[in-house]
Amino acid sequence: MDIKFYVCFRMKRRLYFKDFFFIPGKVRSFIMCCLCGKRRVVYCKEPLSRQQITDIEEVQDSLFYTCGSTLFPTGHRYHETIVVKYGLECTAEMETTYYAGITTKFQPVCFFCGNTEVDSTSQTVQDLRKNYSIVRPICRQCMSNGIQPKVRIALKLNKK
């Protein structure tokens, strides 16, 4: 077997495992960045125990978590089992898995800034909902800054 192929295959497999971890079915909670205030999704293969929830709350209360860092330090018992996407920056949009709602439903927050006061009644949002099955939440401030809501999956409209 060619050594380059083996290394490449091993690297792809490792990346696949990490990508598999960050799916809507593994969403368990969220934690807020102490710098930007955005909610970042907490992933775990199994539902969280009371002790695990307490440990996540301790991280939140200590103002320890910032976007891009790991949830628990290396060596912590949950370092590899309860995770957040590392490498995210405060400027990054919300993770789409936050809105997936398979294992947990969260309060809608602005997709761009994380503001909890979303504008679901504006004419722009209402018009987009007529044409798309997914319209990400957006706040009035982002709308006034010229940001358009993110949309996915255009609806098939039968026009005669």
Average pLDDT across each block of 10 residues of the chain; the chain has 160 residues. List them in order.
37 47 90 94 94 93 88 90 91 94 89 94 92 94 95 76
Q: How many CA atoms lie within 13 A of 19 on its CB side?
A: 6
Domain boundary residue, one of 82, 100, 118: 100
Whether 71 contacts 52, CB under 8 Å: no
pTM for the model: 0.80
> Do 5 and 56 belong together in one domain?
yes
- Give the domain extent around 3: 1-100
Where do runs of H (alpha helix) occur along 88-139? 123-131
Q: How many domains does the chain have?
A: 2
Q: Is 40 left (phi over 0), alpha (psi -120 to 50) or beta?
A: beta
Q: Which of 48, 44, 43, 39 minimizes the C-alpha distance to 67?
A: 39
Q: Of 100, 115, 142, which residue is a domain's last? A: 100
Kindly state whether residues 88 and 151 are assigned to the same domain: no
List, for residues 36-66, the tens digit of each pLDDT value: 999 999 999 999 999 999 999 999 998 788 9
Q: At which residue do the structure tokens 């060619």 appear?
A: 2
Q: Which of 100, 117, 151 corresponds to the end of one domain?
A: 100
